[in-house]
Amino acid sequence: MDRRLYETIVKGDIPGFLGLVQGNEDTISQTIPGSSSLSTALHLAARFGHVELAKEILKLSPEMVSAVNEKLETPLHEACREGRVEMVKLLAETDPWVVYKMNQENESALFVASERGRLDVVNYLLDFPGLLMLEVDGATTSLHAAASGGYTDILKEILKTRPDFAWKKDQDGCIPLHLACKKGHLDITRELLRFDTDLTAIQDNDGRTPLHWATSKGRVSTIDEILSTSLESAEMITRQGETVLHLGVKNNQYDAIKYLTETLNITKLLNKPDNDGNTVLHLATAGKLTTMVVYLLKLGVDVNAINRKGHTALDVVESDVSNSGALVILPALQNSGAKRGDQVPPGSMEIQQIERFTTSPTASSISPKKTHEPSSALHHHRRSHRRRRHKQLELQTEGLRNARNTITVVAVLIATVTFAAGINPPGGFDQKNGYAIKGTLTSFKVFVVCDIVALFLSLGIVIFLVSIVPFRRKSMMKLLVVTHKVMWLSTSFLAAAYIAAMWTIIPPGRGMRWVLVAVLGIGGGCTVVIFAGLGFLLAIHWLRKWEWKKNKENRKKDSPSSSISRVEELRMMKRGNRDYSSSNSDVDSSDQGGYHLY
Per-residue pLDDT of 550-598, as tens digits, reads 776 766 555 444 334 444 444 444 444 444 334 445 555 444 444 455 5
Cα torsion through 150, 155, 156, 160, rounded to 10: -170
**Does 351 or 538 have the greater pLDDT score?**
538
Residue 397 pLDDT > 90? no
Q: How confident is the model at residue 450 (pLDDT cuts 50, 70, 90)?
A: very high
pLDDT value at 205 more than 50: yes
The crossing angle, in degrees rounded to 10, of helices 152-161 and 142-149 is 160
Give the pairing of strands 367-368 and 38-40.
Answer: unpaired
Helix (H) or strand (E) holding 327: helix 324-335
Q: What b/e readout covers 565-581, taking b as 16+ CB neighbours within 10 angstroms?
A: bbbbbbbbebbebebbe
Per-residue pLDDT, 51: 93
Residue 437 banded pLDDT, cuts 50, 70, 90: confident
Please tell me which of 42-46, 211-215, 511-515, 530-534 the model is most confident about, judged by mean pLDDT.
Answer: 211-215
**Assign residue 363 a region: left if phi > 0, alpha if psi is -120 to 50, beta otherwise?**
beta
What are the backbone dihedrals phi and psi of residue 294, each rounded to the nearest 5 degrees, phi first? -60, -40
Nearest-angstrom CA–CA distance, 365 and 268: 7
CA pair distance 530, 539, nearest whole angstrom: 14
What number is the average pLDDT over the span 111-139? 91
Angle between helices 473-505 and 376-423 (to 10 degrees): 30
Instruction: Please tell me the predicted confidence (pLDDT) of residue 220.
Output: 94
The H or E element spanning position 368 is: strand 367-368
pLDDT at 346 over 70: no
Residue % of the chain over a pLDDT of 90: 36
The mean pLDDT value of the chain amounts to: 80
Please write the tens of the pLDDT for every residue from 53-106: 999 989 988 999 999 888 899 999 999 999 999 999 999 999 999 999 999 988
- Number of Cβ within 10 Å of residue 24's Cβ equals 11
Give the Å distances, CA to CA, from 181 to 49, 69, 149, 284.
Answer: 34, 35, 11, 24
Q: 237-373: which CATH topology?
A: 1.25.40
Residue 36 has what pLDDT? 47
How many CB atoms within 10 Å of residue 418?
A: 24
Model pLDDT, residue 562: 38
In which band, very low, low, confident or very high, does the pLDDT at 214 lie, cut at 50, 70 and 90? very high
Q: What is the pLDDT of residue 112?
A: 95
Q: With 70 as the cut, is the pLDDT of residue 23 above it?
A: no
Q: What is the pLDDT of residue 372?
A: 40
Above pLDDT 70, what percent of the chain?
Answer: 78
31-33 and 38-40 strand pairing: antiparallel
Judge whether 307 and 246 are in contact, CB under 8 Å: no
User: How many residues are present in the chain?
Assistant: 598
State yes or no: pLDDT of 334 exceeds 80: yes
Burial of 481 (0-12, 13-18, 19+ CB in 10 A): exposed
Question: In this structure, are residues 403 and 477 in contact, taking their beta carbons and an 8 Å threshold?
Answer: no
**Among 344, 199, 369, residue whose Cα is nearest residue 269:** 369
User: How many Cα atoms within 13 Å fall on the side-chain side of residue 92?
Assistant: 22
Would you say 238 and 362 are in contact if contact means Cβ atoms under 8 Å apart? no
Q: Would the pLDDT of 136 be above 70?
A: yes
Q: Are 228 and 189 in contact (CB under 8 A)?
A: no
Closest CA to 462 of 509, 412, 500: 412
* Least confident stretch, 119-128, 213-222, 397-406, 431-440: 397-406
